[in-house]
Chain A
Protein backbone atom coordinates (compact mmCIF):
# COMPACT_ATOMS: atom_id res chain seq x y z
CA UNK A 1 0.00 0.00 0.00
CA UNK A 2 1.12 3.53 -0.69
CA UNK A 3 1.87 5.86 2.17
CA UNK A 4 -1.00 8.25 2.64
CA UNK A 5 0.12 11.88 2.13
CA UNK A 6 -2.77 12.92 4.35
CA UNK A 7 -1.00 11.32 7.28
CA UNK A 8 1.95 13.70 6.95
CA UNK A 9 -0.13 16.82 7.43
CA UNK A 10 -2.25 15.20 10.13
CA UNK A 11 0.89 14.45 12.08
CA UNK A 12 2.23 17.97 11.53
CA UNK A 13 -1.08 19.46 12.70
CA UNK A 14 -1.14 17.21 15.77
CA UNK A 15 2.40 18.14 16.73
CA UNK A 16 1.52 21.82 16.26
CA UNK A 17 -1.48 21.49 18.58
CA UNK A 18 0.68 19.71 21.15
CA UNK A 19 3.09 22.67 21.01
CA UNK A 20 0.12 24.96 21.59
CA UNK A 21 -0.88 22.88 24.63
CA UNK A 22 2.57 22.58 26.19
CA UNK A 23 4.46 25.73 25.25
CA UNK A 24 2.72 28.08 27.73
CA UNK A 25 3.25 25.62 30.59
CA UNK A 26 6.86 25.00 29.62
CA UNK A 27 7.59 28.73 29.44
CA UNK A 28 6.05 29.19 32.87
CA UNK A 29 8.20 26.47 34.41
CA UNK A 30 11.39 27.72 32.74
CA UNK A 31 10.80 31.32 33.82
CA UNK A 32 10.23 30.28 37.42
CA UNK A 33 14.01 29.76 37.49
CA UNK A 34 14.77 33.17 35.96
CA UNK A 35 16.72 35.55 38.17
CA UNK A 36 15.12 38.66 36.58
CA UNK A 37 12.42 40.35 38.59
CA UNK A 38 10.35 42.13 35.96
CA UNK A 39 11.56 41.62 32.41
CA UNK A 40 11.13 38.57 30.24
CA UNK A 41 14.85 38.69 29.50
CA UNK A 42 16.78 35.73 30.85
CA UNK A 43 19.16 36.82 33.59
CA UNK A 44 20.49 33.53 34.78
CA UNK A 45 19.36 30.54 36.78
CA UNK A 46 18.03 31.21 40.25
CA UNK A 47 15.99 29.49 42.93
CA UNK A 48 15.21 32.75 44.74
CA UNK A 49 11.48 32.68 43.90
CA UNK A 50 11.15 29.23 45.37
CA UNK A 51 12.98 30.43 48.47
CA UNK A 52 10.54 33.35 48.67
CA UNK A 53 7.62 30.90 48.49
CA UNK A 54 8.98 28.82 51.34
CA UNK A 55 9.02 31.89 53.59
CA UNK A 56 5.49 33.00 52.68
CA UNK A 57 3.46 32.14 55.77
CA UNK A 58 0.06 33.08 54.30
CA UNK A 59 0.74 30.72 51.43
CA UNK A 60 1.43 27.87 53.80
CA UNK A 61 -1.87 28.50 55.57
CA UNK A 62 -3.67 28.55 52.20
CA UNK A 63 -2.04 25.24 51.28
CA UNK A 64 -3.16 23.72 54.59
CA UNK A 65 -6.71 24.94 54.00
CA UNK A 66 -6.73 23.53 50.48
CA UNK A 67 -5.49 20.12 51.59
CA UNK A 68 -7.96 19.95 54.47
CA UNK A 69 -10.91 20.93 52.26
CA UNK A 70 -9.85 18.51 49.52
CA UNK A 71 -9.42 15.61 51.97
CA UNK A 72 -12.74 16.06 53.77
CA UNK A 73 -14.80 16.85 50.66
CA UNK A 74 -13.26 13.88 48.82
CA UNK A 75 -14.12 11.57 51.73
CA UNK A 76 -17.75 12.76 51.73
CA UNK A 77 -18.06 12.64 47.94
CA UNK A 78 -16.52 9.16 47.75
CA UNK A 79 -18.78 7.67 50.44
CA UNK A 80 -21.94 9.20 48.98
CA UNK A 81 -20.88 8.73 45.36
CA UNK A 82 -19.92 5.05 45.59
CA UNK A 83 -23.04 4.13 47.51
CA UNK A 84 -25.19 6.01 44.97
CA UNK A 85 -23.38 4.29 42.08
CA UNK A 86 -24.12 0.85 43.53
CA UNK A 87 -27.72 1.89 44.19
CA UNK A 88 -28.34 3.26 40.70
CA UNK A 89 -26.86 0.21 38.99
CA UNK A 90 -29.32 -1.97 40.91
CA UNK A 91 -32.36 -0.01 39.81
CA UNK A 92 -34.46 -1.22 36.88
CA UNK A 93 -33.60 0.60 33.63
CA UNK A 94 -36.72 2.72 33.44
CA UNK A 95 -36.20 4.27 36.85
CA UNK A 96 -32.59 5.10 36.13
CA UNK A 97 -33.27 7.75 33.50
CA UNK A 98 -34.32 10.62 35.76
CA UNK A 99 -31.48 9.82 38.16
CA UNK A 100 -29.09 9.93 35.20
CA UNK A 101 -30.33 13.44 34.51
CA UNK A 102 -30.16 14.47 38.15
CA UNK A 103 -26.53 13.38 38.42
CA UNK A 104 -25.63 14.93 35.07
CA UNK A 105 -27.00 18.39 35.87
CA UNK A 106 -24.30 19.38 38.39
CA UNK A 107 -21.66 18.37 35.83
CA UNK A 108 -23.01 20.60 33.06
CA UNK A 109 -24.15 23.45 35.30
CA UNK A 110 -22.13 26.66 34.84
CA UNK A 111 -19.81 26.87 37.83
CA UNK A 112 -20.69 30.49 38.50
CA UNK A 113 -24.31 29.51 38.95
CA UNK A 114 -23.44 26.77 41.41
CA UNK A 115 -21.29 29.20 43.38
CA UNK A 116 -24.00 31.83 43.46
CA UNK A 117 -26.69 29.35 44.51
CA UNK A 118 -24.58 28.01 47.38
CA UNK A 119 -23.66 31.53 48.51
CA UNK A 120 -27.31 32.60 48.62
CA UNK A 121 -28.33 29.43 50.40
CA UNK A 122 -25.64 29.69 53.09
CA UNK A 123 -26.44 33.36 53.70
CA UNK A 124 -30.16 32.60 53.97
CA UNK A 125 -29.72 29.78 56.50
CA UNK A 126 -27.26 32.07 58.32
CA UNK A 127 -24.37 29.65 58.06
CA UNK A 128 -21.10 31.58 58.42
CA UNK A 129 -18.94 31.38 55.28
CA UNK A 130 -15.66 29.61 55.86
CA UNK A 131 -13.84 26.32 55.52
CA UNK A 132 -17.01 24.33 56.20
CA UNK A 133 -19.09 25.99 53.48
CA UNK A 134 -16.29 25.56 50.94
CA UNK A 135 -15.96 21.88 51.88
CA UNK A 136 -19.70 21.35 51.43
CA UNK A 137 -19.59 23.09 48.05
CA UNK A 138 -16.73 20.89 46.84
CA UNK A 139 -18.46 17.72 48.04
CA UNK A 140 -21.54 18.78 46.02
CA UNK A 141 -19.81 18.97 42.65
CA UNK A 142 -17.67 15.91 43.37
CA UNK A 143 -20.46 13.41 44.18
CA UNK A 144 -21.54 13.11 40.50
CA UNK A 145 -17.89 12.81 39.41
CA UNK A 146 -17.33 9.81 41.69
CA UNK A 147 -20.69 8.26 40.81
CA UNK A 148 -20.00 8.51 37.08
CA UNK A 149 -16.58 6.84 37.25
CA UNK A 150 -17.60 4.03 39.61
CA UNK A 151 -20.80 3.32 37.64
CA UNK A 152 -18.79 2.88 34.46
CA UNK A 153 -16.77 0.18 36.21
CA UNK A 154 -19.76 -1.49 37.89
CA UNK A 155 -21.49 -1.85 34.52
CA UNK A 156 -18.59 -3.96 33.23
CA UNK A 157 -18.78 -6.40 36.18
CA UNK A 158 -20.37 -9.79 35.82
CA UNK A 159 -23.58 -9.60 37.92
CA UNK A 160 -23.38 -13.34 38.49
CA UNK A 161 -20.38 -12.93 40.79
CA UNK A 162 -22.39 -11.18 43.49
CA UNK A 163 -25.33 -13.52 42.93
CA UNK A 164 -23.03 -16.51 43.40
CA UNK A 165 -21.78 -15.07 46.67
CA UNK A 166 -25.37 -14.57 47.83
CA UNK A 167 -26.28 -18.15 46.81
CA UNK A 168 -23.37 -19.38 48.90
CA UNK A 169 -24.90 -17.72 51.92
CA UNK A 170 -23.17 -14.32 52.03
CA UNK A 171 -25.22 -11.43 53.37
CA UNK A 172 -25.65 -8.51 50.91
CA UNK A 173 -23.05 -6.53 52.85
CA UNK A 174 -20.59 -9.46 52.82
CA UNK A 175 -21.16 -9.98 49.10
CA UNK A 176 -20.45 -6.31 48.48
CA UNK A 177 -17.41 -6.12 50.77
CA UNK A 178 -15.77 -9.38 49.72
CA UNK A 179 -16.71 -9.60 46.04
CA UNK A 180 -17.85 -6.32 44.46
CA UNK A 181 -15.70 -3.86 46.36
CA UNK A 182 -12.34 -5.54 45.63
CA UNK A 183 -13.29 -5.62 41.95
CA UNK A 184 -14.15 -1.92 41.78
CA UNK A 185 -11.56 -0.70 44.30
CA UNK A 186 -9.09 0.71 41.72
CA UNK A 187 -11.86 2.76 40.11
CA UNK A 188 -12.94 4.02 43.55
CA UNK A 189 -9.37 5.10 44.30
CA UNK A 190 -9.06 6.65 40.84
CA UNK A 191 -12.31 8.54 41.31
CA UNK A 192 -11.23 9.76 44.76
CA UNK A 193 -7.92 11.01 43.37
CA UNK A 194 -9.76 12.85 40.62
CA UNK A 195 -12.18 14.38 43.13
CA UNK A 196 -9.20 15.43 45.26
CA UNK A 197 -7.55 17.11 42.25
CA UNK A 198 -10.75 18.86 41.21
CA UNK A 199 -11.22 20.16 44.75
CA UNK A 200 -7.61 21.29 45.00
CA UNK A 201 -7.95 23.18 41.71
CA UNK A 202 -11.37 24.70 42.14
CA UNK A 203 -11.58 28.45 42.05
CA UNK A 204 -15.09 29.59 41.14
CA UNK A 205 -17.21 27.74 43.72
CA UNK A 206 -14.56 28.43 46.38
CA UNK A 207 -14.50 32.12 45.45
CA UNK A 208 -18.22 32.43 46.21
CA UNK A 209 -18.45 30.19 49.27
CA UNK A 210 -15.26 31.15 51.14
CA UNK A 211 -15.46 33.81 53.78
CA UNK A 212 -12.60 36.22 54.41
CA UNK A 213 -10.78 33.73 56.67
CA UNK A 214 -10.82 30.70 54.37
CA UNK A 215 -8.18 31.38 51.74
CA UNK A 216 -7.32 28.35 49.64
CA UNK A 217 -4.36 27.95 47.33
CA UNK A 218 -6.27 28.91 44.13
CA UNK A 219 -7.74 31.97 45.90
CA UNK A 220 -4.23 32.95 46.94
CA UNK A 221 -2.90 32.43 43.40
CA UNK A 222 -5.77 34.54 42.06
CA UNK A 223 -5.06 37.42 44.41
CA UNK A 224 -1.34 37.21 43.58
CA UNK A 225 -2.14 37.39 39.85
CA UNK A 226 -4.53 40.28 40.42
CA UNK A 227 -2.17 42.33 42.54
CA UNK A 228 0.65 42.17 40.03
CA UNK A 229 2.87 39.88 38.12
CA UNK A 230 5.73 38.66 40.27
CA UNK A 231 8.03 35.74 39.48
CA UNK A 232 6.91 34.25 42.80
CA UNK A 233 3.68 33.18 41.04
CA UNK A 234 5.74 31.44 38.36
CA UNK A 235 7.41 29.33 41.02
CA UNK A 236 4.12 28.53 42.71
CA UNK A 237 2.48 27.71 39.37
CA UNK A 238 5.34 25.45 38.37
CA UNK A 239 4.92 23.53 41.61
CA UNK A 240 1.16 23.23 41.07
CA UNK A 241 1.80 21.92 37.53
CA UNK A 242 4.06 19.20 38.90
CA UNK A 243 1.55 18.22 41.61
CA UNK A 244 -1.33 18.03 39.11
CA UNK A 245 0.74 15.87 36.78
CA UNK A 246 1.62 13.49 39.61
CA UNK A 247 -2.01 13.18 40.71
CA UNK A 248 -3.26 12.57 37.16
CA UNK A 249 -0.52 10.02 36.60
CA UNK A 250 -1.48 8.20 39.79
CA UNK A 251 -5.17 8.27 38.86
CA UNK A 252 -4.44 6.89 35.38
CA UNK A 253 -2.26 4.11 36.78
CA UNK A 254 -5.10 3.19 39.15
CA UNK A 255 -7.62 3.04 36.33
CA UNK A 256 -5.21 1.04 34.19
CA UNK A 257 -4.77 -1.59 36.96
CA UNK A 258 -8.53 -1.72 36.98
CA UNK A 259 -8.67 -2.78 33.33
CA UNK A 260 -6.42 -5.78 33.92
Chain B
Protein backbone atom coordinates (compact mmCIF):
# COMPACT_ATOMS: atom_id res chain seq x y z
CA UNK B 1 0.00 0.00 0.00
CA UNK B 2 1.16 3.48 -0.79
CA UNK B 3 0.53 6.23 1.71
CA UNK B 4 -0.84 9.61 0.75
CA UNK B 5 2.69 11.04 0.59
CA UNK B 6 3.59 8.25 -1.86
CA UNK B 7 0.62 9.22 -4.01
CA UNK B 8 1.75 12.80 -3.96
CA UNK B 9 5.29 11.96 -5.12
CA UNK B 10 3.74 9.81 -7.86
CA UNK B 11 1.61 12.74 -8.99
CA UNK B 12 4.65 15.00 -8.97
CA UNK B 13 6.60 12.47 -11.02
CA UNK B 14 3.79 12.29 -13.56
CA UNK B 15 3.79 16.08 -13.77
CA UNK B 16 7.53 16.06 -14.49
CA UNK B 17 6.99 13.52 -17.28
CA UNK B 18 4.36 15.73 -18.89
CA UNK B 19 6.00 19.10 -18.29
CA UNK B 20 8.60 19.14 -21.10
CA UNK B 21 6.13 18.19 -23.84
CA UNK B 22 3.47 20.57 -22.53
CA UNK B 23 5.97 23.42 -22.26
CA UNK B 24 7.21 22.75 -25.80
CA UNK B 25 3.71 22.57 -27.29
CA UNK B 26 2.60 25.57 -25.25
CA UNK B 27 5.49 27.69 -26.48
CA UNK B 28 5.56 26.65 -30.14
CA UNK B 29 1.96 25.64 -30.78
CA UNK B 30 -0.52 27.34 -28.44
CA UNK B 31 1.31 30.66 -28.20
CA UNK B 32 1.74 31.09 -31.99
CA UNK B 33 -1.96 30.32 -32.47
CA UNK B 34 -2.82 33.00 -29.94
CA UNK B 35 -0.60 35.44 -31.82
CA UNK B 36 -2.44 34.64 -35.07
CA UNK B 37 -5.74 35.18 -33.29
CA UNK B 38 -4.64 38.59 -31.94
CA UNK B 39 -3.24 39.72 -35.28
CA UNK B 40 -6.48 38.80 -37.02
CA UNK B 41 -7.97 41.82 -35.21
CA UNK B 42 -5.10 44.17 -36.11
CA UNK B 43 -4.69 46.26 -39.24
CA UNK B 44 -2.08 46.23 -41.96
CA UNK B 45 0.41 49.07 -42.02
CA UNK B 46 1.53 50.74 -45.24
CA UNK B 47 4.66 48.59 -45.66
CA UNK B 48 3.15 45.23 -44.96
CA UNK B 49 3.71 45.31 -41.22
CA UNK B 50 1.14 44.99 -38.49
CA UNK B 51 -0.48 47.91 -36.70
CA UNK B 52 -2.03 46.94 -33.40
CA UNK B 53 -5.70 47.72 -33.20
CA UNK B 54 -8.79 45.89 -32.14
CA UNK B 55 -11.17 45.77 -35.04
CA UNK B 56 -13.28 43.05 -36.65
CA UNK B 57 -12.58 44.72 -40.02
CA UNK B 58 -10.61 41.73 -41.37
CA UNK B 59 -13.46 39.35 -40.72
CA UNK B 60 -15.85 41.82 -42.37
CA UNK B 61 -13.54 42.00 -45.39
CA UNK B 62 -13.65 38.23 -45.71
CA UNK B 63 -17.42 38.46 -46.32
CA UNK B 64 -16.57 40.00 -49.70
CA UNK B 65 -18.09 37.81 -52.47
CA UNK B 66 -14.63 37.41 -54.00
CA UNK B 67 -13.31 35.76 -50.85
CA UNK B 68 -16.54 33.95 -50.08
CA UNK B 69 -16.30 32.24 -53.43
CA UNK B 70 -12.85 30.85 -52.45
CA UNK B 71 -14.29 29.46 -49.22
CA UNK B 72 -17.33 28.01 -51.00
CA UNK B 73 -15.18 26.43 -53.72
CA UNK B 74 -12.90 24.88 -51.07
CA UNK B 75 -15.85 23.42 -49.16
CA UNK B 76 -17.39 21.99 -52.35
CA UNK B 77 -14.03 20.58 -53.39
CA UNK B 78 -13.43 18.99 -49.96
CA UNK B 79 -16.96 17.51 -49.91
CA UNK B 80 -16.55 16.13 -53.43
CA UNK B 81 -13.19 14.61 -52.46
CA UNK B 82 -14.77 13.03 -49.37
CA UNK B 83 -17.65 11.62 -51.44
CA UNK B 84 -15.42 10.12 -54.12
CA UNK B 85 -13.06 8.66 -51.48
CA UNK B 86 -16.02 7.06 -49.70
CA UNK B 87 -17.37 5.51 -52.91
CA UNK B 88 -13.93 4.20 -53.90
CA UNK B 89 -12.78 3.33 -50.40
CA UNK B 90 -15.75 1.30 -49.22
CA UNK B 91 -15.50 -1.59 -51.70
CA UNK B 92 -11.73 -1.75 -51.22
CA UNK B 93 -12.00 -1.70 -47.42
CA UNK B 94 -14.77 -4.33 -47.55
CA UNK B 95 -12.72 -6.57 -49.79
CA UNK B 96 -9.67 -6.16 -47.54
CA UNK B 97 -11.59 -6.91 -44.35
CA UNK B 98 -13.15 -10.05 -45.85
CA UNK B 99 -9.88 -11.40 -47.26
CA UNK B 100 -8.02 -14.27 -45.53
CA UNK B 101 -5.91 -13.00 -42.61
CA UNK B 102 -2.59 -13.30 -44.45
CA UNK B 103 -3.88 -11.27 -47.38
CA UNK B 104 -5.23 -8.55 -45.10
CA UNK B 105 -1.70 -7.70 -43.99
CA UNK B 106 -0.50 -7.50 -47.60
CA UNK B 107 -3.42 -5.29 -48.63
CA UNK B 108 -2.73 -2.98 -45.68
CA UNK B 109 0.92 -2.54 -46.64
CA UNK B 110 -0.12 -1.93 -50.26
CA UNK B 111 -2.47 0.86 -49.15
CA UNK B 112 0.15 2.35 -46.82
CA UNK B 113 3.06 2.57 -49.26
CA UNK B 114 1.68 5.31 -51.56
CA UNK B 115 0.42 7.08 -48.46
CA UNK B 116 3.95 7.46 -47.09
CA UNK B 117 5.44 8.44 -50.41
CA UNK B 118 6.32 12.11 -50.58
CA UNK B 119 3.16 14.14 -51.25
CA UNK B 120 4.92 16.45 -53.73
CA UNK B 121 6.18 13.46 -55.67
CA UNK B 122 2.71 11.91 -55.81
CA UNK B 123 1.22 15.18 -57.02
CA UNK B 124 3.98 15.58 -59.58
CA UNK B 125 3.27 12.06 -60.84
CA UNK B 126 -0.21 13.22 -61.81
CA UNK B 127 1.16 16.31 -63.56
CA UNK B 128 3.04 13.91 -65.82
CA UNK B 129 -0.09 11.88 -66.54
CA UNK B 130 -2.55 14.73 -67.05
CA UNK B 131 -0.52 17.08 -69.28
CA UNK B 132 -1.84 17.67 -72.79
CA UNK B 133 1.13 15.67 -74.10
CA UNK B 134 1.00 13.40 -71.05
CA UNK B 135 0.58 9.69 -70.91
CA UNK B 136 -3.20 9.70 -70.40
CA UNK B 137 -3.84 11.75 -73.55
CA UNK B 138 -1.27 9.80 -75.54
CA UNK B 139 -2.88 6.52 -74.49
CA UNK B 140 -6.43 7.68 -75.21
CA UNK B 141 -5.51 9.03 -78.64
CA UNK B 142 -3.49 5.90 -79.37
CA UNK B 143 -6.50 3.76 -78.47
CA UNK B 144 -8.64 5.82 -80.85
CA UNK B 145 -10.91 7.13 -78.09
CA UNK B 146 -10.09 10.76 -78.86
CA UNK B 147 -8.67 12.67 -81.78
CA UNK B 148 -7.16 15.72 -80.10
CA UNK B 149 -5.56 15.94 -76.66
CA UNK B 150 -7.56 17.44 -73.79
CA UNK B 151 -5.74 19.50 -71.19
CA UNK B 152 -6.91 18.10 -67.85
CA UNK B 153 -4.00 19.54 -65.91
CA UNK B 154 -4.62 22.98 -64.36
CA UNK B 155 -8.34 22.41 -63.87
CA UNK B 156 -10.71 21.65 -61.00
CA UNK B 157 -10.93 18.07 -62.19
CA UNK B 158 -7.16 17.70 -61.86
CA UNK B 159 -7.33 19.10 -58.30
CA UNK B 160 -10.11 16.66 -57.44
CA UNK B 161 -8.12 13.72 -58.82
CA UNK B 162 -5.03 14.85 -56.89
CA UNK B 163 -6.95 15.25 -53.62
CA UNK B 164 -8.68 11.86 -53.95
CA UNK B 165 -5.34 10.26 -54.76
CA UNK B 166 -3.65 11.94 -51.81
CA UNK B 167 -6.23 11.20 -49.14
CA UNK B 168 -7.83 7.89 -50.18
CA UNK B 169 -5.78 5.90 -47.62
CA UNK B 170 -7.20 8.12 -44.84
CA UNK B 171 -10.63 6.80 -45.82
CA UNK B 172 -9.68 3.17 -46.36
CA UNK B 173 -7.91 2.56 -43.04
CA UNK B 174 -10.74 3.49 -40.60
CA UNK B 175 -13.31 1.82 -42.89
CA UNK B 176 -11.24 -1.35 -42.91
CA UNK B 177 -10.95 -1.31 -39.11
CA UNK B 178 -14.74 -0.89 -38.75
CA UNK B 179 -15.69 -3.57 -41.31
CA UNK B 180 -13.17 -6.01 -39.91
CA UNK B 181 -14.94 -5.84 -36.56
CA UNK B 182 -18.35 -6.42 -38.16
CA UNK B 183 -20.04 -9.61 -36.98
CA UNK B 184 -20.50 -11.81 -40.06
CA UNK B 185 -23.43 -13.70 -38.55
CA UNK B 186 -25.53 -10.51 -38.58
CA UNK B 187 -25.18 -10.32 -42.36
CA UNK B 188 -26.15 -13.99 -42.66
CA UNK B 189 -29.16 -13.39 -40.41
CA UNK B 190 -30.31 -10.51 -42.61
CA UNK B 191 -29.98 -12.66 -45.73
CA UNK B 192 -31.75 -15.57 -44.06
CA UNK B 193 -34.64 -13.20 -43.38
CA UNK B 194 -34.77 -12.49 -47.14
CA UNK B 195 -33.32 -8.98 -47.01
CA UNK B 196 -32.28 -7.99 -50.55
CA UNK B 197 -28.58 -7.19 -51.03
CA UNK B 198 -29.14 -3.45 -51.03
CA UNK B 199 -31.10 -3.61 -47.77
CA UNK B 200 -28.35 -5.65 -46.10
CA UNK B 201 -25.96 -2.88 -47.08
CA UNK B 202 -28.05 0.13 -46.02
CA UNK B 203 -29.78 -1.37 -42.96
CA UNK B 204 -27.03 -3.56 -41.52
CA UNK B 205 -23.54 -2.81 -42.87
CA UNK B 206 -23.75 1.00 -42.98
CA UNK B 207 -25.25 1.52 -39.49
CA UNK B 208 -22.76 -0.90 -37.92
CA UNK B 209 -19.72 0.64 -39.61
CA UNK B 210 -20.88 4.21 -39.06
CA UNK B 211 -18.07 5.17 -36.65
CA UNK B 212 -15.53 4.13 -39.29
CA UNK B 213 -17.40 6.01 -42.02
CA UNK B 214 -17.49 9.15 -39.90
CA UNK B 215 -13.82 8.90 -38.97
CA UNK B 216 -12.82 8.33 -42.60
CA UNK B 217 -14.91 11.24 -43.86
CA UNK B 218 -13.39 13.58 -41.28
CA UNK B 219 -9.86 12.42 -42.00
CA UNK B 220 -10.38 13.17 -45.70
CA UNK B 221 -12.45 16.34 -45.39
CA UNK B 222 -10.12 18.20 -43.02
CA UNK B 223 -6.86 18.01 -44.99
CA UNK B 224 -8.71 18.47 -48.31
CA UNK B 225 -10.24 21.70 -47.04
CA UNK B 226 -6.85 23.13 -46.07
CA UNK B 227 -5.01 21.65 -49.06
CA UNK B 228 -2.18 23.74 -50.40
CA UNK B 229 0.10 21.68 -52.66
CA UNK B 230 -2.59 20.00 -54.78
CA UNK B 231 -4.45 23.13 -55.96
CA UNK B 232 -1.12 24.96 -56.27
CA UNK B 233 0.40 22.39 -58.64
CA UNK B 234 -2.60 20.82 -60.37
CA UNK B 235 -5.08 23.69 -60.30
CA UNK B 236 -5.50 26.49 -62.76
CA UNK B 237 -5.49 30.22 -62.11
CA UNK B 238 -9.05 30.04 -60.83
CA UNK B 239 -8.63 26.92 -58.68
CA UNK B 240 -7.40 28.80 -55.62
CA UNK B 241 -8.46 27.18 -52.35
CA UNK B 242 -8.36 28.51 -48.77
CA UNK B 243 -4.82 27.25 -48.18
CA UNK B 244 -3.53 29.07 -51.26
CA UNK B 245 -5.46 32.17 -50.32
CA UNK B 246 -3.85 32.25 -46.87
CA UNK B 247 -0.39 31.71 -48.33
CA UNK B 248 -1.06 34.45 -50.91
CA UNK B 249 -2.13 36.94 -48.24
CA UNK B 250 0.89 36.16 -46.08
CA UNK B 251 3.75 35.83 -48.51
CA UNK B 252 2.63 37.72 -51.64
CA UNK B 253 0.28 40.52 -50.55
CA UNK B 254 1.84 40.63 -47.08
CA UNK B 255 -1.50 41.41 -45.46
CA UNK B 256 -0.89 39.44 -42.28
CA UNK B 257 -4.04 40.54 -40.43
CA UNK B 258 -6.31 39.43 -43.29
CA UNK B 259 -4.35 36.19 -43.70
CA UNK B 260 -4.68 35.52 -39.97
CA UNK B 261 -8.43 36.13 -40.05
CA UNK B 262 -8.69 33.82 -43.07
CA UNK B 263 -6.82 31.04 -41.28
CA UNK B 264 -9.02 31.37 -38.22
CA UNK B 265 -12.14 31.04 -40.36
CA UNK B 266 -10.57 27.87 -41.84
CA UNK B 267 -9.97 26.52 -38.36
CA UNK B 268 -13.53 27.42 -37.34
CA UNK B 269 -14.89 25.37 -40.27
CA UNK B 270 -12.67 22.43 -39.28
CA UNK B 271 -13.79 22.60 -35.64
CA UNK B 272 -17.44 22.97 -36.70
CA UNK B 273 -17.04 19.94 -38.94
CA UNK B 274 -15.55 17.89 -36.09
CA UNK B 275 -18.31 18.97 -33.74
CA UNK B 276 -21.09 18.39 -36.26
CA UNK B 277 -19.90 14.91 -37.13
CA UNK B 278 -19.50 14.02 -33.48
CA UNK B 279 -23.10 15.10 -32.87
CA UNK B 280 -24.38 13.29 -35.95
CA UNK B 281 -22.58 10.16 -34.80
CA UNK B 282 -23.80 10.61 -31.24
CA UNK B 283 -27.48 10.94 -32.15
CA UNK B 284 -27.83 7.54 -33.80
CA UNK B 285 -25.24 5.50 -31.96
Instruction: Check if A and B associate.
Output: yes
Q: Which residues of A contact B (CB under 8 A)?
A: 6-7, 9-11, 13-14, 17-18, 20-25, 27-28, 31, 39-40, 76, 79-81, 83-84, 86-88, 90-91, 99, 102-103, 105-106, 108-114, 116-121, 124, 136-137, 139-140, 143, 147, 172, 197, 200-201, 203-204, 208, 218, 221-222, 225, 229, 233-234, 237, 240-241, 244-245, 247-249, 252
- By a CB distance below 8 angstroms, the chain B residues around A225 are 120, 124, 127, 233
19 more contacts with CB within 8 A, not counting A21-B114, A76-B24, A110-B263, are: A7-B98, A14-B107, A17-B91, A40-B128, A83-B17, A87-B15, A106-B29, A110-B222, A110-B225, A110-B266, A116-B260, A117-B33, A140-B25, A201-B116, A203-B120, A218-B118, A221-B118, A229-B128, A233-B124
Given contacts A83-B21, A140-B29, contact A110 B116 (CB under 8 A): no
Inter-chain contact A13/B28, CB cutoff 8 Å: no
Inter-chain contact B35/A222, CB cutoff 8 Å: no
Inter-chain contact B128/A28, CB cutoff 8 Å: yes
- By a CB distance below 8 angstroms, the chain A residues around B134 are 40
Check: B88 CB closer than 8 A to any chain A CB.
yes
Q: Bound complex: CA of A249 vs CA of B163, how far in Å?
A: 25
Among B126-169, those with CB < 8 Å from A are 126-129, 131, 133-135, 138, 165, 168
Check: B214 CB closer than 8 A to any chain A CB.
no
Q: Which 3 A-B pairs have the closest CB atoms?
A: A110-B226, A87-B17, A84-B21
Q: Bound complex: CA of A201 vs CA of B29, how far in Å?
A: 20
- By a CB distance below 8 angstroms, the chain B residues around A9 are 91
Inter-chain contact B121/A120, CB cutoff 8 Å: no
Check: B70 CB closer than 8 A to any chain A CB.
no
Inter-chain contact B32/A117, CB cutoff 8 Å: yes
Inter-chain contact A27/B129, CB cutoff 8 Å: yes
A147 (CB) vs chain B CBs: closest residue? B21
A233 (CB) vs chain B CBs: closest residue? B124
Q: Which residues of B contact A (CB under 8 A)?
A: 10, 13-18, 20-22, 24-25, 28-29, 31-33, 35-36, 39, 88-89, 91-92, 94-96, 98, 107, 109-114, 116-122, 124-129, 131, 133-135, 138, 165, 168, 197, 218, 222-223, 225-226, 228-229, 233, 242-243, 246-247, 250-251, 256, 259-260, 263, 266-267, 270, 274
Inter-chain contact A27/B35, CB cutoff 8 Å: no
Inter-chain contact B263/A252, CB cutoff 8 Å: no
- By a CB distance below 8 angstroms, the chain A residues around B113 are 244-245, 248
Inter-chain contact A197/B250, CB cutoff 8 Å: no
- By a CB distance below 8 angstroms, the chain B residues around A11 are 95
- By a CB distance below 8 angstroms, the chain B residues around A87 are 14-18, 21
Q: Label chain B's interface by main secondary structure.
A: helix
Q: Bound complex: CA of A204 vs CA of B123, how far in Å?
A: 14
Total residue contacts A-B, CB cutoff 8 A: 223
Given contacts A28-B124, A225-B124, contact A247 B116 (CB under 8 A): yes
B222 (CB) vs chain A CBs: closest residue? A108
7 residue pairs from A and B, CB less than 8 Å apart: A24-B125, A25-B122, A28-B128, A80-B24, A110-B223, A143-B21, A201-B118
- By a CB distance below 8 angstroms, the chain B residues around A83 are 17-18, 20-21
B259 (CB) vs chain A CBs: closest residue? A116
- By a CB distance below 8 angstroms, the chain A residues around B31 are 121
B109: contacting residue among A80, A121, A124, A252, CB under 8 A: A252
- By a CB distance below 8 angstroms, the chain B residues around A222 are 120
Q: Bound complex: CA of A88 vs CA of B39, how far in Å?
A: 33
Inter-chain contact A80/B21, CB cutoff 8 Å: yes
Inter-chain contact B129/A203, CB cutoff 8 Å: no
- By a CB distance below 8 angstroms, the chain A residues around B266 are 110, 112-113
- By a CB distance below 8 angstroms, the chain B residues around A21 are 110-111, 114, 165, 168
Q: Bound complex: CA of A117 vs CA of B229, how far in Å?
A: 18
Inter-chain contact A13/B29, CB cutoff 8 Å: no
Given contacts A14-B92, A24-B122, contact A84 B117 (CB under 8 A): no
Q: Bound complex: CA of A117 vs CA of B228, how far in Å?
A: 16
Inter-chain contact A113/B267, CB cutoff 8 Å: yes
Inter-chain contact A121/B35, CB cutoff 8 Å: yes
A226 (CB) vs chain B CBs: closest residue? B233
- What is the CB-to-nearest-CB distance from A36 to chain B, in angstroms, rounded to a whole number? 11
- By a CB distance below 8 angstroms, the chain A residues around B109 are 248-249, 252
Given contacts A13-B92, A197-B116, contact A237 B21 (CB under 8 A): no
- What is the CB-to-nearest-CB distance from A216 to chain B, in angstroms, rounded to a whole number? 11
Inter-chain contact A80/B92, CB cutoff 8 Å: no
- What is the CB-to-nearest-CB distance from A126 to chain B, in angstroms, rounded to a whole number? 13
- What is the CB-to-nearest-CB distance from B17 to chain A, in angstroms, rounded to a whole number? 3
- By a CB distance below 8 angstroms, the chain A residues around B197 are 6
Inter-chain contact B124/A204, CB cutoff 8 Å: no
Residue from A108, A124, A229 with most neighbouring chain B CB atoms (10 Å): A108
- By a CB distance below 8 angstroms, the chain A residues around B246 are 112-113, 116
Q: Bound complex: CA of A102 vs CA of B124, how far in Å?
A: 34
Inter-chain contact A237/B118, CB cutoff 8 Å: yes
